[in-house]
Amino acid sequence: MVEGILSKAFWFVAATVFAAATVVHGQQAPCFFIFGDSVFDSGNNNNLQSKAKVNFPPYGIDFPKGPTGRFSNGRTIPDLIGELLGFKDFIPPFSGASPEQAHTGLNYASGGGGLREETSEHLGDRVSLSNQVLNHRKAIKKAKVPSQRLQQCLYVINIGSNDYINNYFMSEPYNSSRRFNHNQYAYSLNLLYRAHLKTLHRLGARKVALFGITQIGCTPKVMLSHGGGKACAKEVNDAVRIFNKNLDDLVKDFNKKVKGVKYTFVDVFCGGDPKAFGVLGFKVGDKSCCPVSPAPGEELCTPNQQVCANRSEYVFWDDIHSTEAVNRKVAKGSFEGLLTRPYSISQLVKE
């Protein structure tokens, strides 16, 4: 009898310790889905007819598998969020993933992708957010992922930059700047975003982190094209600020009106100017670590060239995409809550 009680107590203690251990050290969400543009892409463009692809060195110089199609020297923001969540493997790109991988997560992001269908069409093929959501629908139906499980997954989205850089602020071949003023354009993008979020919600998404746009006017590419080569392009940053404000409001609206959801806005604008990066310890915030061809419109690393000596000192890897060192700060800031409102990603994945 005593032995019985003792062993029950032992098993109770053992089970509690075991459960606590899985919560703290285990994977904090059953699955992780990624949507967006080149900042989140992990290889979906490799087999597309597109100028926006980077499966060649020096891309991936600090990534365990070398050049994979990630637009950085090393890990992307979702790679690092995945690590913080306790995922052992990187979430695979949708293109080339096996159907059963939809149970643990897929990455649908595509370099050049935007909210508007025509965005980046001058670069060739790319997957717009609406088509990424369609791919997600196909993937989870095919794999028969239970809806209960889909509600526990984390979803992250980073979209909108291309709708400005590779559409609104590129007056040829695009005409959106002649059809919309800054407010109207941001509003039109917000309407599209809302529609896609509703579809994702119907497909089970309940925990969603929406990344705003950085100060793209301060990227080497846009400083050159719209800032006279020296300063941040104020007009571009001002336009993006409206997009971010609307997205922040959209998140508030979803949290207020839709039952059982936790959406959060990730503010990557505030910390996004060269001065702020200086505070964080980065030494070079106005030029790329890899050499970029001086041809107009070029932004990607020239293949197989010598890169800067210390990648961790640079904000920009090429003329538009950040280094792993910056991605690490952003991932940590969104996970712990420094950059998010109202929820940190860590809070999103909690019950």
Ligand X SMILES: *[C@@H]1O[C@H](CO)[C@@H](O)[C@H](O)[C@H]1NC(C)=O
342 preceded by a cis bond (ω within 30 of 0): yes
Nearer to ligand X, 74 or 212 (CB): 74
Pairing of strands 314-316, 32-36: unpaired
- 117 or 253: whose CB is closer to ligand X? 117
Beta bridge partners of 42: 70
Smallest separation (angstroms) from ligand X to the CB of 178: 6
* Paired sense of beta strands 314-316 and 207-211, if any: unpaired
For the chain, where are the alpha helices, taking DSSP H only? 2-25, 77-84, 129-142, 147-150, 161-163, 176-179, 182-202, 220-226, 234-257, 274-279, 324-336, 345-349
Show Cβ contacts of residue 15 under 8 Å, excluding neighbours closer than 6 positions. Answer: none
Give the CA angle between residues 9, 12, 15 to the nearest 5°. 150
Tell me how far apart the alpha carbons of residues 56 and 303 are, in angstroms, rounded to a whole number: 7
Which residue lies nearer to ligand X by CB, 181 or 310? 310
* Minimum distance from residue 166 beta carbon to ligand X (Å): 13
CB of 80 to ligand X, least distance (A): 17
Active site residues: 38, 318, 321
Instruction: Work out the angle between the directed axes of helices 324-336 and 77-84 (0-180°, nearest 10).
Output: 50
Q: Rounded to the nearest whole angstrom, what is the least distance from the CB of residue 86 to ligand X in the complex? A: 26
Nearer to ligand X, 289 or 345 (CB): 289
Asked, as a colleague might, if the bond just before 146 is cis with ω within 30 of 0, I would say no
**323 closest CA partner among 267, 277, 255:** 277
Q: Least distance to ligand X from the beta carbon of 131, Å? A: 17
The runs of H, that is alpha helices, within 151-215 are 161-163, 176-179, 182-202
Least CB distance to ligand X at residue 298 (A): 24
Closer to ligand X at the Cβ: 85 or 315? Answer: 315
Q: Is 293 exposed, middle or buried (CB count within 10 Å of its CB: 0-12, 13-18, 19+)?
A: middle
- The footprint of ligand X (CB under 6 A) covers 118, 175, 179, 281, 310, 312-313
Q: Which residue's CB is nearer to ligand X, number 254 or number 282?
A: 282
C-alpha 296/C-alpha 313 separation (Å) is 26
8-state DSSP, 156: E
